[in-house]
Chain A
Amino acid sequence: MGFLTLFAKSAPTLLSLPSGSFTVDRKGAVLIGTLPSSFPTDLVRDIAQQVLAAFREAETAQLPLAELAINYSSLKIRARELRGGAIVFLSPKAIDAPANHS
């Protein structure tokens, strides 16, 4: 039975949007976080890099920023600049969806 499960195709899963926060240093290394372990670490790093790059490039454009809020229809990312690094908060949004069709 174990032999069979070894080759069994794993069922695809859907990515849940996480709620929590993490801290990242100026080099993009994630120091500490409260995001669920099911949320992929490469996506956490991805968020961190994009946020740090946005802070850095804003400064180059002579627009120093202390805080960024990125609003998606299903998720809000809020980042506070922290000595070159950042603390990042993720919070999924509740959306009023139409009634169930089935």
Chain B
Amino acid sequence: MDKTMETSHKILLVDDDPDLLAMYGELLAQLPSRPAVHTASGGHRAMAMLEAEPFRLLVCDLKMPKMDGLQVLSIVRRKYPQLRTVVLTSVVDEQFRSRAYALGVDLFWHKPSTEQEVKMFLECLESLLGREAESGFRGIQSKSLVDIIQLECISQSSSVLRITNGPLTGKIWIQDGELIDAEAGDLRGEAAFQKILSWKMGSFETLPPEPSRARTILKSYNGLLLESAQALDEARGEAAAEGTAVPTSPLAHLSQVEGVEFVLVMKSGDGGEPVARGLENPQHMAAWTRASMERFRALGERLRAGVLEQIEGLGPQRNVVLARQGETEFCVGWKHSMSLGEIREMMKKVLALWAS
């Protein structure tokens, strides 16, 4: 048996127009990877099919009766985060393109009208189908950032590493196996590089090289990695010697952020037992957090408003922010005197600390 047949990807094509379903079904079946193409004439049918079996790619129209494409995509993003998603639509309103991307779709295509556009569309889909299988990136996630940088430098690679740690983002430029620049927030060069290395966790992405990037780092990568490791060790040692800032739990770390009055953390869903610091009765707050996150998440789906990013509450006694990171929900209480802008900035810190 042909090996490609054994491992063929499954595509789910959703459109309320049966003629288009048939036409695109045929087109997609002819992709080089020979995917198995399944079709659904509406959102509800598509959800049932996704529930029944795993798919690699969802290609979805936007304008459909009963359940429109934005609703389908909202639910899909939440329930099947690994599923690749493509919007294929005749809608030209820029608002809907923005909203689709805000929902996390991989591609947004207007229904192709020329042979050239069809060809490009199919090439994009083929690339999307193969991307995960060909990339080694997911395997790298279990290695440390130092391992990845060494790997890039030893292999004389040229690339830009983008490192995301919660809301923080940093970039490291590597040219012909040499570290040439780094950027993290306002920092650049060696300082930025050391800052990025202090993040213990994160996700990595390799971007195309930028040979024209100005060089700000002149030391060898080995020397710089050694210096960064020493600097981190010294910082830990100093904190331990002062006997102050060595919190014993992650929650203690978070509660030391300026302005924080309390922190409550729990796994999302009903089963997660809340853990809190600075709260006398965390059960009430946990119940409110859980109910509010669920209430406004569901409202967002009905409104097709995209991902629920954060809920902020301002009160006469204290302010509060609810957020979610991965499977963890947070309720962080802030001093009443802080402005919303200050709270947002510090909340980013809290989430970044938790991620690291």
Q: In the complex, which residues of chain A have a beta carbon less than 8 angstroms from the beta carbon of B246?
A: none
Is B62's CB within 8 Å of the partner chain A?
yes
Supposing A53-B295, A69-B311 touch, asked if A13 and B288 sit within 8 A by C-beta, the answer is: no
Q: Is the CB of B99 within 8 A of A95?
A: yes
Q: How many residues from B make CB contacts under 8 Å with A?
A: 60
Task: Kindly supply a per-residue 1/0 record for chain B positions 96-134, scoring 1 wherever the CB is within 8 Å of any chain A CB and 0 otherwise.
Answer: 111111110001111110000100110010000000000
CA distance A69 to B315 in the complex (A): 12
CA distance A9 to B103 in the complex (A): 29
Is A102's CB within 8 Å of the partner chain B?
yes
Q: Is the CB of A68 within 8 A of B70?
A: no
Is A4's CB within 8 Å of the partner chain B?
no
Q: Is the CB of A54 within 8 A of B295?
A: yes
Q: Is the CB of A12 within 8 A of B288?
A: no
Task: Kindly supply a per-residue 1/0 record for chain B positions 57-96, scoring 1 wherever the CB is within 8 Å of any chain A CB and 0 otherwise.
Answer: 0000011110011100000000000000000000101111
Is B253's CB within 8 Å of the partner chain A?
no
Q: Is the CB of B310 within 8 A of A71?
A: yes
Chain A residues 51-88 with CB under 8 Å of chain B are: 53-54, 57-58, 60-75
Q: Is the CB of A58 within 8 A of B313?
A: yes
Stretch at the interface among B177-185, B208-216, B266-274, B296-304: B296-304
CA distance A60 to B292 in the complex (A): 13
Stretch at the interface among B153-161, B220-228, B316-324: B316-324
Q: In the complex, which residues of chain A have a beta carbon less than 8 angstroms from the beta carbon of B284?
A: 60-62
Q: Is the CB of B64 within 8 A of A101?
A: no
Q: In the complex, which residues of chain B have a beta carbon less than 8 angstroms from the beta carbon of A94?
A: 98
Task: Kindly supply a per-residue 1/0 record for chain B positions 227-265, scoring 1 wherever the CB is within 8 Å of any chain A CB and 0 otherwise.
Answer: 000000000000000000000000000000000000000
CA distance A61 to B117 in the complex (A): 56
Contact of A57 among B100, B292, B310 (CB under 8 A): B292
Closest A residue to B312 using CB positions: A69
CA distance A98 to B315 in the complex (A): 38
Q: In the complex, which residues of chain B have a beta carbon less than 8 angstroms from the beta carbon of A29?
A: none
Q: Is the CB of B302 within 8 A of A54?
A: no
Q: In the complex, which residues of chain B have a beta carbon less than 8 angstroms from the beta carbon of A16?
A: 93, 95
Closest CB of chain B to A99's CB: distance in Å? Answer: 10
Q: Is the CB of B98 within 8 A of A65?
A: no
Q: Is the CB of B340 within 8 A of A17?
A: no
Is A34's CB within 8 Å of the partner chain B?
no
Supposing A43-B303, A63-B288, A64-B316 touch, asked if A12 and B310 sit within 8 A by C-beta, the answer is: no
Closest A residue to B295 using CB positions: A50
Q: In the complex, which residues of chain B have a beta carbon less than 8 angstroms from the beta carbon of A68?
A: 311-314
Chain A residues 13-36 with CB under 8 Å of chain B are: 13-17
Contact of B316 among A13, A66, A100 (CB under 8 A): A66
Q: Is the CB of A97 within 8 A of B68?
A: no
Q: In the complex, which residues of chain B have a beta carbon less than 8 angstroms from the beta carbon of A70?
A: 296, 299, 308, 311
CA distance A95 to B103 in the complex (A): 11
Q: Is the CB of A50 within 8 A of B121?
A: no
Q: Is the CB of B285 within 8 A of A73?
A: no
Supposing A60-B284, A95-B98 touch, asked if A12 and B65 sit within 8 A by C-beta, the answer is: yes
Supposing A67-B314, A68-B313 touch, asked if A15 and B292 sit within 8 A by C-beta, the answer is: no
Closest A residue to B297 using CB positions: A72
Q: Is the CB of B99 within 8 A of A17?
A: yes
Contact of A72 among B112, B306, B317 (CB under 8 A): B306
Supposing A61-B284, A73-B305, A101-B109 touch, asked if A12 and B70 sit within 8 A by C-beta, the answer is: no
Q: Is the CB of A15 within 8 A of B314?
A: no
Q: In the complex, which residues of chain A have a beta carbon less than 8 angstroms from the beta carbon of B318?
A: 63
Supposing A17-B95, A61-B288, A66-B314 touch, asked if A75 and B62 sit within 8 A by C-beta, the answer is: no
Is A11's CB within 8 Å of the partner chain B?
yes
A-B contact pairs, 12 of them (CB 8 A): A14-B68, A14-B91, A17-B305, A47-B299, A60-B288, A61-B284, A63-B313, A63-B317, A70-B299, A74-B305, A75-B305, A95-B99
- Interface residues in chain A, defined as those with a beta carbon under 8 Å from any beta carbon in chain B: 11-17, 43, 46-47, 50, 53-54, 57-58, 60-75, 92-98, 100-102
- Interface residues in chain B, defined as those with a beta carbon under 8 Å from any beta carbon in chain A: 16, 62-65, 68-70, 91, 93-103, 107-112, 117, 120-121, 124, 281, 284-285, 287-288, 291-292, 295-296, 299-300, 302-318, 320, 340
